[in-house]
Amino acid sequence: MNILVFAFIPLILSLGIIPALQSEFIPSVDAIKAKGNSMTEINSNKVCGDRLCSEISDNKITSPHVVTKSQKALFPSSMDYTVTGPEIDPDKGYAVIEIGDGLYWLTDGMYQVMFLATGQGVILVDAPMGMGTKIQQAISEVTSEKVTHFIYSHIHKDHVGSASLLPKDTVYISHSDTAEHLIMKNDPQRPVPTVTFDDNYTLNVGDQRLELSYIGDFHSKGDIVVNSPAHKVIMAVDFFHPKAAPFQYFGITRDMGEHIAAHDKLLSMDWDIIVSGHEPILGTPEHLKFNKEFTLSVLDNAYTAMKTTKPSANYFGDLANKCAELTVEQYPDLKDIEVSPVENCVTMVFYAMID
């Protein structure tokens, strides 16, 4: 990102557009529209191995009846895992928690996985590379059911690099952009998805239902939201860190406009808990609202830096440093605020000025 940003400096300086950009109005978040998805569906009714595909019956993927389970109280334990993370058994290296009726959260303290026991097999969302065989070990602690369906939250290997360790007849599901990327990568650790979708997909297995949706690439490529309406739990990975500052470059987001817009899209959905993919805790709508406020504050700080910083040979660097200084002053107690404020401001300044 640094290389990309600084590569633009001579161009911007030579075009003399800095003063114009400094005074240009930055569109409000509400005005940022989702670009939508342009990809076409790939083999939506086929099961594919790394090379070959075969037709599957719809019944295997979608049962004809949707049975919504009555919602039980979240967290059988008295501990509220949206405040404090579970204790990680040092021998096992993970904790597996039942969020609600048949819906489980698995974490090693750094990465997060969600799985759903359906009565007819387990639906698993993500399989981080570092968790390997511990994932199926954890699942076997709470159910005798095997994994029958795997959902890719997005393309990144650190979250899905153990997907190949699942039973051979597992049905792999993803957004069509994820499938296209994984076909291109031909990575044995990330089997090519066998069922894909562009906008929405409902997965009914046994007596459970998950609704998958695409709301734009808020982080990388093929980012999807996995929603269990019966539990009021969603999973959106690498979008934000509950109660913490963003990972550098706003989670290395590819499109800051989509990233910002995704806050309101997620907040418009009906849920109580979000599995974010990272942090020791689960997230809440309040965490996401705070993250939106933080993100827009950084945008304001980038704007302020553009108004108050004089052009120089290190103009972008000066802008990012000023933006970071303002941000750290505003949020001195936020977890990880000091880790990468400049990197986050580089992304925001770049977005504010020329995206």
Binding site for Zn ion (CB under 5 A): 156, 238
CA-based nearest residue to 220, from 186, 264, 174: 174
As measured in angstroms, the least distance from the Cβ of 219 to Zn ion is: 6
CB-based burial label for 55 (10 Å; 0-12, 13-18, 19+): exposed
The DSSP bridge pattern shows strands 112-117 and 103-107 to be: antiparallel
CB of 157 to Zn ion, least distance (A): 9
Q: Tell me the residue nearest to Zn ion as measured from the CB.
A: 156
DSSP reduced 3-state for 227? strand
* Spatial distance between the Cα atoms of 193 and 35, rounded to a whole number of angstroms: 24
Whichever of 123 and 237 has its CB closer to Zn ion, that residue is 237
Question: In angstroms, how far is CA 271 from the centroid of its own chain?
Answer: 16
Q: What count of Cα atoms within 13 Å lies in the side-chain half-sphere of residue 33?
A: 3
> What DSSP string runs through 140-188?
HHH-SPPEEEEE-SSS-HHHHTTGGGS-TTPEEEEEHHHHHHHHHHT-T
Helical (H) or strand (E) element with 54: strand 53-55
Nearer to Zn ion, 207 or 217 (CB): 217
> Minimum Å distance from CB 223 to Zn ion?
8
CB closer to Zn ion out of 249 and 316: 249
Nearer to Zn ion, 156 or 190 (CB): 156
Cβ-based nearer residue to Zn ion, 208 or 347: 347
Closest CB to Zn ion among 170 and 276? 276
Which positions ≥6 away from 213 have C-beta within 8 Å? 199, 200, 201, 224, 225, 227
> What SS3 class is residue 330?
helix
Fill in the amino acid letter for 286: E
Q: State in angstroms the smallest separation of the CB of 278 from Zn ion.
A: 9
Nearer to Zn ion by Cβ, of 160 and 205: the residue is 160
Is the Cβ of residue 238 or residue 258 nearer to Zn ion in the bound state? 238
Helices (H), 216-340: 248-252, 256-267, 285-308, 315-330
Beta carbons of 271 and 234 less than 8 angstroms apart: yes
CB 69 within 8 Å of CB 102: yes
Nearer to Zn ion, 156 or 263 (CB): 156
Contact 208, 116 (CB under 8 A): yes
Residue 96 phi, psi dihedral angles, 5° rounding: -120, 125
